[in-house]
Structure formats: structure tokens, C-alpha cells
Amino acid sequence: MSPDRAIRSYLDHLSVERGLSRNTLASYRRDLERYAERLAAAGITGLGEVREADVSGHLAALREEGLAAASAARAMSAVRGLHRFAVRERLIPHDVASGVRLPAPPKRLPKALDVEQVERLLGVPDADSPLGLRDRALLEFLYGTGARISEAVGADIDDLELDEEPAVVLRGKGGKTRLVPVGGYARAAVRAYLVRARPSLAAQGRGTPAVFLNARGGRLSRQSAWTALHRCAVAVGLPVDGPYAVSPHTLRHSYATHLLDGGADVRVVQELLGHASVTTTQVYTLVTVERLREVYATAHPRAR
């Protein structure tokens, strides 16, 4: 089978059976199309003709093009997934990509805001306008639940329970759902938005079950949500460019870090974040250790 046909089959599998998001599928498609172009340039017309040297050569070429280790590793994960799929479907006899080692990206700790910074950020939106009420509810929701931005903008009214035992059903990666508590501040902000702002926004559209709406009454997009946060970050002097730029994921990082700082068990935080493995969550424990070191270095008379 040609690489192009195998890639189409693999992407169909990821979409239908794995339920990957549109953005993730687009990334896989870009990475695999680049791989197919490299194979074609080498005169390879069938996926079964690929050798391990061709796969490792593609990795080397990516690095020579200036791709960072993390980006190259992501691109090669797509390539390895393609070959695994092709062997499983009996399109090729052997997985020649399994022996190619991926570059190890540098370990970068997530950047969390401190509590005072979060409070300043959440206080920016104007609570006297519909869009201001929406933005405050969105930011409180992100920080109060640890939701990914895709989960927040994907939330529907029926996913919310704000009365006796406040919680929200979040739809995460791979279509997995989880139930997450909603704290008092987030609950109050979302209620205010639902009562005082959402009806007027919904009247501009054709009817959607989405919790968070744009000015035209449609579901709020990820980009629009990012823009709202960007605006608030600028207002309080938080960085919006560079390695520590504030993004919607910053509030998720802050949520996890503050829970652990407050004594939460790492496995509880794992469940709240929707991580498949506790290993992913444990990076936040490193953040809290870094914070302890900083406090020790500045407070102890013999720390230096």
C-alpha cells in the first residue's frame, strides 16, 4: 500500500475509533504528509519498502531543518503510530519505526501563577456588561475546575449542576468524561452570567446548548477565549509573550499547583485533571518543590 493511502486509513482510524479532536488530527496530518513527501523524494512508493534507516533519516532531517526536540518528537510519534497501525492492519509485515529513538525534549516545568496574580486576573472583566460577565465566568470556570480550554468552550448547559452538589461534566481527550466539583466563586460567576448575560447573547444566535457564547450567540471558540484571557492579562501586567506567557492552560497549571500546595493527594489531582497516568500529574509536584526551594532560599538565614 502506498504511504498516502496508509496515512488516509490511519487518520480515519484516529478520527472514528480514537475520537481525536479536529486540531489533533490536523497536526497528525501535517506531520504525516511531510513524512510521505520525504519517502516520495527517496523513491519509496510503498510503506512496506520503508527501512529503519529511512525513518531515522526523516528524524535527522527534521532536526537539521531546525525543528525543536519536542516538535520533532511529536512528528515522529505520528510516524511511529502510522507504522504500528499498518502492522496491526496487516498492511506491512514489520514495524521498522519501533526501534527509532525519539529525541528527549528538555524538561520544562509548567509556569503557575501565584494566588494573588490569579485573583487580580479574575477581577479584570467588567461585571456590568454581558461579555464582561461571560469573561469573568469563563476565567473563574477555568481556574475553579482545572478544565482545558477545549473542555470549557465545549461544555453545554446540561453538563452543569450548580445547586445541591455543584459539579460539571467535562469531555476530555479521546471522548473521555469526568465529573469535577465547581467551587463557590466559579459557581457564583457562572450563575451571574447565565442569568444576566447569556439570554441576551443567545438571542443573537440560532440556539445552541453551549455554556459560553460569543457576541453573535454561537459557541465561543478557543481562539476567542484565549483573546479574552489575553486582554485581562495585559490589564494586570502579566506576560502575554515569551516562554511564560499567560494562556488558558496557565490557569489549569495554577489550579493543579495550588491544590498540591494546599495538601491535595497527587492521585486526586490526577482524577480532577483527567490525566490517564499519574506520571503526567507528578510534574506539578516538581513545581511545588521548586517553590519550597525559593521560599527556603529567601527566608532561611543560612540558606546561602
Catalytic residue IDs: 148, 173, 249, 252, 275, 284
Q: Which position has the grid cell 469573568?
A: 136
- Asked whether the beta carbons of 9 and 94 are under 8 A apart, the reply is no
Residue 233 to residue 269: CA distance in whole angstroms: 26
The SS3 assignment for 281 reads helix
Work out the number of other CB atoms within 10 angstroms of the CB of residue 232: 22
Helix 248-261 / helix 222-235 crossing angle, nearest 10 deg? 70
Chain centroid, CA 31 distance in Å: 19
The amino acid present at 5, given as its one-letter code, is R
- Asked whether the beta carbons of 51 and 96 are under 8 A apart, the reply is yes
